[in-house]
A and B are shown apart, each in its own frame.
Chain A
Amino acid sequence: MNLFSIIGEALRALRQNRLRTGLTMLGMIIGVAAVVLMLSIGQGAQTKINQSIAAMGSHLFIVVPGATSSGGFSFGSGTIKTLTINDAHAIAELPSIGATAPVITGTAQLNYAAKNWSTIITGTTPDYFAVGSWKMESGTTFSESDLRSAARVVVLGSITAKNLFNDEDPVGKTIRITNRPFLVVGVLMAKGQSLTGRDQDDNVFIPITTSERQITGSQFPGSIRYMLAQGNSADDMDIAEIEMVQLLRQRHRISAGKENDFTVRNLTAIADVATSAAKVMSMVLGAIASVSLLVGGIGIMNIMLVSVTERTREIGIRMAIGANQRAILTQFLLEAMMICSMGGLIGVVLGIGGAWLVSQVADMLIVVTLGMIGLAFLFASAVGIFFGFYPAKKAASLKPVDALRYE
């Protein structure tokens, strides 16, 4: 019997029992759809993290005031004033460190024409933009001389610019920050969310000197909220960290045995943790989805076993008129595989649809790749062959006389 005829027979058998075929297929559909959906959610999370890491800037440290044990890793504790602009300058001189950017933050009311916008204001140095991998949408950053003269110049984050100016070009315009006029010198390109989920584009940047004297003010002159420090190379991150800690302990006159009054965090290491966490998450999601595929496979085996028993007499008749073992085996295996591949196909479509729905409803980044579709489909077919083989083998190895006698 040629393969076409066997396919025809298998299709006929599936059509004869539409309801059962459909229900069996449902198991496969759900399994494959779940795999595609879970993989695409996992892939989306990973892509998102990779984007954030790429946007973050390479081999970065963040140094915050306060001991690790008391404050933990937090941007929120603005009460400790142990870190200063001069600390940042000193660290920038270290051989393993390329540049640093001290930061003080506050909130401010912005006005342009009739528009009002309240946002975070960041006072920093021109190096901040290079260290943090910011790119300019238009204009320039403020300069070293702006810093020295505490000039009233501002660089806008993309969302802030959009909110104040709509489609107008902000560069060269004057906005008011807490009622003082500032010249807009540049607009940043959008960056999206940070690793911690903060939106980074609703922000304005002014020279730290201007901020300290005119906007945020300070009870402790020179103290900063945090600083970014960029290592010279990815290989020397450990050395750079040791050097920074040593230098800061000296500068802060911390005697041996005493706790640091600052905390140094390697952001690259945090990024690595986030990346591997995302990988683990996609693996776990994939594994969970695979279980449903497995259950679908067992469902197929179950139905095929019932089908073999139910059709024992048919198998006997086919053997009596000349079907050999291979023809019977192929027929039943093909039935299982057809259920799987059809279910797989529908499942892939449903999975992609589901992924799209999730991305719309939950506002999540969902990434569907050809690879994962292929994987899900392949896995489904493999499940079909694996779970279809035993029932098919059982059918094929029946003795003709026993099969014919079966009532």
Chain B
Amino acid sequence: MPSIQPHHVINPLIKIENLCKSYSLEDANGRTIMNQVLFNINLTINQGEFVAIMGQSGSGKSTLMNILGCLDTPTSGSYWLSEKNAAALSGDELARIRNRSIGFVFQGFNLLKRMTALDNVAAPLLYAGVSRSNSRRQALEFLRRTGLENFALHQPNQLSGGQQQRVAISRALINQPALILADEPTGNLDSQTSREIMSLFAQLNRDQGITIVLVTHEDTIAAYAKRLIRLKDGHVIYDKNNDRSLRTQ
């Protein structure tokens, strides 16, 4: 019996169903109170999408990103990454996914201090079991692609914000992940550098088909993405895809 699935249906990279996240806090009297941050989120992101998540401060964007990145776990609901149920994976498997399938870019760069740009970029390869010399060789190649080969032996505190972020992006890319998660990657950068970084993301998405999910406050940054999701107080209040080629709804 032939398949009746339409040919353009793509297996989702990310599938979130009824996801809730609460933090337990202690009030002044020592009682625990639950603070719910995400409410019944349903979300599907396909391979190759470029998604911007916007929302007020405290609306739960970072919380969502951390769950997407397997750094945190949902309180309820399910999260499927490449058709794998994250809740069913062991700590080692999650570490492996963070290492191979996901690249993180943070607002504060989060480079390892007192380590050269080269060693920072090479670090994920070391955790993947690649030898030190091989990982350094590859790291230099990735730094070259982001135009930083002359800064390979600089330490983070000897680099500008834009340069640091490009080191972080090189690090995120080195294991050739399917997904890049960027939480306010331009938050600490001036507008000129922000534009350069965003062009880099757009180029990675366009040329290599890397799925990118980024959080931002600024409309000009969000404009680089093809799909916009708005969060408000832990609810998805807007989700619109501008990319005709990937429209799934």
Name A's B-contacting residues (CB within 8 A). 1-2, 4-5, 8, 12, 16, 313-314, 316-327, 399-401, 404
* Among B98, B113, B129, B175, contact of A314 (Cβ-Cβ < 8 Å): B113
Shortest Cβ distance from residue A385 to the other chain B in the assembled complex, whole angstroms: 22
B66 within 8 A of A: yes
- Knowing A317-B112, A321-B99, A401-B72 touch, does A327 contact B127 (C-beta < 8 A)? yes
- Residues of chain A lying within 8 A (CB to CB) of residue B132: 4-5, 8
B100 within 8 A of A: yes
Within 8 A of A (CB), among B175-232: 175
Binary contact readout B64-79 vs A (1 if CB under 8 angstroms, 0 otherwise) = 0010011110000000
B124 touches A401 (CB 8 A): no
- Knowing A5-B126, A322-B124 touch, does A399 contact B72 (C-beta < 8 A)? yes
- Residues of chain A lying within 8 A (CB to CB) of residue B96: 322, 324
- Residues of chain B lying within 8 A (CB to CB) of residue A321: 98-99, 104, 123-124, 127, 171
A323 touches B95 (CB 8 A): yes
A400 touches B113 (CB 8 A): no
Cα separation A316 to B113 with both chains bound (whole Å): 13
Cα separation A326 to B96 with both chains bound (whole Å): 12
- Residues of chain B lying within 8 A (CB to CB) of residue A322: 95-96, 98-100, 124, 127-128, 175
Within 8 A of A (CB), among B72-104: 72, 91-92, 95-96, 98-100, 104
Within 8 A of A (CB), among B41-73: 66, 69-72
A317 touches B110 (CB 8 A): yes
Shortest Cβ distance from residue A393 to the other chain B in the assembled complex, whole angstroms: 13
B152 within 8 A of A: no
Residue of A whose beta carbon sits closest to that of B65: A401
Within 8 A of A (CB), among B97-156: 98-100, 104, 110-115, 123-124, 126-129, 131-132
Cα separation A404 to B112 with both chains bound (whole Å): 12
Cα separation A326 to B129 with both chains bound (whole Å): 13
Name B's A-contacting residues (CB within 8 A). 66, 69-72, 91-92, 95-96, 98-100, 104, 110-115, 123-124, 126-129, 131-132, 171, 175
Task: Count A/B pairs, Cβ under 8 Å.
Answer: 74
Residue of A whose beta carbon sits closest to that of B175: A322
* Among A5, A327, A404, contact of B71 (Cβ-Cβ < 8 Å): A404
- Residues of chain B lying within 8 A (CB to CB) of residue A314: 112-113
A320 touches B69 (CB 8 A): yes
- Residues of chain A lying within 8 A (CB to CB) of residue B70: 400
Complex A-B, nearest 6 residue pairs according to Cβ-Cβ distance, in ascending order: A322-B99, A324-B95, A401-B72, A322-B127, A400-B71, A401-B71
Shortest Cβ distance from residue A123 to the other chain B in the assembled complex, whole angstroms: 82
A320 touches B127 (CB 8 A): no
- Residues of chain B lying within 8 A (CB to CB) of residue A399: 71-72
- Residues of chain B lying within 8 A (CB to CB) of residue A324: 91-92, 95-96, 127
Cα separation A317 to B91 with both chains bound (whole Å): 16
* Among B95, B110, B112, B129, contact of A2 (Cβ-Cβ < 8 Å): B129
- Residues of chain A lying within 8 A (CB to CB) of residue B171: 321
- Residues of chain A lying within 8 A (CB to CB) of residue B111: 317
- Residues of chain A lying within 8 A (CB to CB) of residue B72: 399-401
B114 touches A16 (CB 8 A): yes
* Among B69, B100, B129, contact of A1 (Cβ-Cβ < 8 Å): B129
A404 touches B129 (CB 8 A): no
Shortest Cβ distance from residue A25 to the other chain B in the assembled complex, whole angstroms: 20
Pairs across A and B, CB under 8 Å, 16 listed: A1-B126, A1-B127, A1-B129, A2-B129, A4-B131, A5-B131, A12-B115, A313-B110, A316-B110, A318-B123, A320-B71, A320-B98, A321-B98, A321-B99, A321-B124, A399-B71
- Residues of chain B lying within 8 A (CB to CB) of residue A323: 95, 99, 127
Cα separation A357 to B107 with both chains bound (whole Å): 60
A319 touches B92 (CB 8 A): no
Shortest Cβ distance from residue B109 to the other chain A in the assembled complex, whole angstroms: 10
Shortest Cβ distance from residue B146 to the other chain A in the assembled complex, whole angstroms: 17
Cα separation A29 to B171 with both chains bound (whole Å): 40
Residue of B whose beta carbon sits closest to that of A5: B126
Cα separation A16 to B82 with both chains bound (whole Å): 40
Residue of B whose beta carbon sits closest to that of A4: B132
Cα separation A42 to B114 with both chains bound (whole Å): 47
B110, B111, B115 — which one has the most chain A CB atoms within 10 A of its CB? B110
* Among A4, A16, A319, A401, contact of B95 (Cβ-Cβ < 8 Å): A319
- Residues of chain A lying within 8 A (CB to CB) of residue B100: 322
Cα separation A2 to B132 with both chains bound (whole Å): 9
- Knowing A1-B127, A2-B131 touch, does A404 contact B95 (C-beta < 8 A)? no
Shortest Cβ distance from residue B96 to the other chain A in the assembled complex, whole angstroms: 7
Cα separation A394 to B99 with both chains bound (whole Å): 22
Shortest Cβ distance from residue A2 to the other chain B in the assembled complex, whole angstroms: 6
Residue of A whose beta carbon sits closest to that of B67: A401
Residue of A whose beta carbon sits closest to that of B98: A322
Cα separation A286 to B209 with both chains bound (whole Å): 67
- Residues of chain B lying within 8 A (CB to CB) of residue A401: 66, 71-72
A319 touches B98 (CB 8 A): yes
- Residues of chain B lying within 8 A (CB to CB) of residue A326: 92
Cα separation A5 to B126 with both chains bound (whole Å): 7
- Residues of chain A lying within 8 A (CB to CB) of residue B104: 320-321
Residue of A whose beta carbon sits closest to that of B127: A322
Shortest Cβ distance from residue B30 to the other chain A in the assembled complex, whole angstroms: 21
- Residues of chain A lying within 8 A (CB to CB) of residue B115: 12
Residue of B whose beta carbon sits closest to that of A17: B114
Cα separation A324 to B94 with both chains bound (whole Å): 8
